[in-house]
Structure 1
């Protein structure tokens, strides 16, 4: 980790300890820690629970497809944005599962007492809204990279700009990345049967 990330890690660990969200751990489990930059420029502490998630039995109800969500919004006139206050941190982890949430840092080995972000089957229920960040009765709303309004669904202009100003690709990975983003908007492309050639 970079020095600025180490300082941020120390600060966030201290805050999580003070709020009673984590405690020191002696668990044999120990996921890695990393940071992801938020839209506002601040850093979000993330725990890499991929190995734990691989052995977790998943809940059996499917997530809705994006197209199905858009179909449900057809005809809607007013929209709401709801921001959850510390999201998963509102839910306690069962005592027998606390040790599985353990993570290792330079500053110690910790485990979560509340639901951390990133676990398979982390429920999205019984959560409370952060009303200062909520917006009500909007005529349009940004949703999953699209703008949804009473007139219909359009591409997010920021995403269109990213596609049109995409730098020249020099590797297969860059081509795949571009095709993934561009393909996400294929419903808006009039000639969608054209295949990309080098």
Structure 2
């Protein structure tokens, strides 16, 4: 890691610690990390910290929860006229990780080791686990929703029907939509 990347990593880890997304650890497990520059981040002048979970992913059992198929979209959307699209920012980070399992998703930067308290990006099971959680939360809306990991499209034939989709979901916290719209476009899997 270059000196400038190390400085950036220390700052980023301090912020992740402050937010409660990671914690210090002395785990015997640790995957390396590095920085990447995606095109959109390069335009903002910001790199993204990536943990290389390839060694751990080799041992993880696949989670086969289905993702929607593109071929079904025209059928679902055929008669719809009103659409709302949402991208849940940092969606995986809305799922907590069991404290007894956190040591397995540890990572290190020079002179420090951390473990995630939330589901990190890079685990091969993360998309499926998140899809399963968000599908369960929005289950009452599935006849009018397409959920693809952290992207959600709600669709309706008319505005009146569409407005009903944003009412509190029975049996779920009335805060679900608050989390989706007002808390940095995130949703809590527990509804809290």
Give the TM-score normalised by structure 2.
Answer: 0.59
Match of 1:7 in 2: 7
Q: Does 1:86 align with 2:90?
A: yes
SS where residue 82 of structure 1 aligns? strand
1:107-126 mapped onto 2 (5 Å cutoff): 107-122=111-126, 123-124=129-130, 125-126=133-134
> Shift of residue 33 of structure 1?
0.7
Match of 2:147 in 1: none
Q: Which has the larger radius of gyration?
A: 1
CA distance in 2, matches of 1:129, 1:34: 30
Asked if structure 2 preserves the Cα contact closer than 8 Å seen for 1:85 and 1:129, the reply is no
Match of 2:105 in 1: 101
SS where residue 58 of structure 1 aligns? coil
Match of 2:165 in 1: none
Aligned length in residues: 134
Match of 1:31 in 2: 31
> Shift of residue 30 of structure 1?
0.8
Give structure 2 stretches of 5+ with no counterpart. 138-178, 186-192
Asked if structure 2 preserves the Cα contact closer than 8 Å seen for 1:98 and 1:113, the reply is yes
Which of 1 and 2 has higher RCO (CA within 8 Å, sep 6+)?
Answer: 2
Superposition RMSD on alpha carbons, in Å? 2.6
Q: Where is the helix percentage greater, Structure 1 or Structure 2?
A: 2
Asked if structure 2 preserves the Cα contact closer than 8 Å seen for 1:82 and 1:133, the reply is no
Give structure 1 stretches of 5+ with no counterpart. 135-198
> Shift of residue 47 of structure 1?
1.1
Give a deviation string over 1:4-38, Cα, whole Å, max 9, x none: 32222111001011112111211111111122335
